[in-house]
Amino acid sequence: MKKTSLALLVATLLPVFAQAHQAGDFIVRAGTATVRPNAGGDTVLNVSSFKVDNDTQLGLTFSYMVTDNIGVELLAATPVTHNVGLQTVGNVAQVSHLPPSLMAQYYFRDAKDKLRPYLGVGINYTMFFDEKFNDHGKSMGLSDLSAKNSWGVAAQAGLDYNLDNNWLINASLWWMDIDTDVRFNSPAGPQSISTRLDPFTFMFGVGYRF
């Protein structure tokens, strides 16, 4: 009778101890990713630096646990599109980009814990595309917009809460060092504007571990 009770207790506790990030686990997370640029840089046409608005897209991360506490993660997302403007002038252009980032992570607490906060640091590569002036920008005589791709550092802080053996809830904050040269033609001649985006990205979603 005692052996039977002990076996039932162990069987009951096993799923609890299995709710963990362990060496060899793959973790896929998906959710909303809101990109909030901290734009600045050179003055454009003697007006202001570029002003860049926020955008929310589908964020995806793919992680591998090298040990119970060390992981590597790749951040991806659907294309992010920003309206670009100048102070007192309004929006003059639109630009899209993809900002994949590769991170090395450290997960705090023990592998068996449901709550796993983590920090990460790594590298970001941002690819710009579909750069174009809107009708307002074209009416100002602006044309041939392009933005140079960017390499930079990236950092993150996140938190996983394990719901069961496979599913989890995630919240994370990313910062990316994104600097680019924006080139275009204007009535004053060709322009090359050094611009930083340096966005914070807030991601909230769910994950699956296998």
Exposure on the CB side of residue 121, measured as CA atoms within 13 A: 1
The number of beta carbons lying within 10 Å of the beta carbon of residue 16 is: 13
Q: Which residues lie across from 204 on neighbouring strands?
A: 32, 171
Which CATH architecture group holds 22-209?
Beta Barrel (2.40)
Look at strands 150-162 and 40-41 and give their pairing: unpaired
- Does residue 175 contact residue 200 with C-beta atoms inside 8 Å? yes
- Does residue 21 contact residue 64 with C-beta atoms inside 8 Å? no
**Which residue type is seen at 15?**
P
Q: Which residues lie across from 139 on neighbouring strands?
A: none
Task: Report which of 101, 105, 104, 103 is spatially closest to residue 76, judged by C-alpha positions.
Answer: 101
Task: Report which of 29, 139, 17 is spatially closest to residue 9, judged by C-alpha positions.
Answer: 17
* pLDDT string in tens for the chain (210-residue length): 544 554 444 444 444 445 678 999 999 999 999 999 999 999 999 999 999 999 999 999 999 999 999 999 999 999 999 999 999 999 999 999 999 999 999 999 998 899 999 999 999 999 999 999 999 999 999 999 999 999 999 999 999 999 999 999 999 999 999 999 999 999 999 999 999 999 999 999 999 999
List CB contacts of 139: < 8 A, sequence separation 6 or more.
none
Query: CA 30 to CA 203: how far, in whole Å?
Result: 9
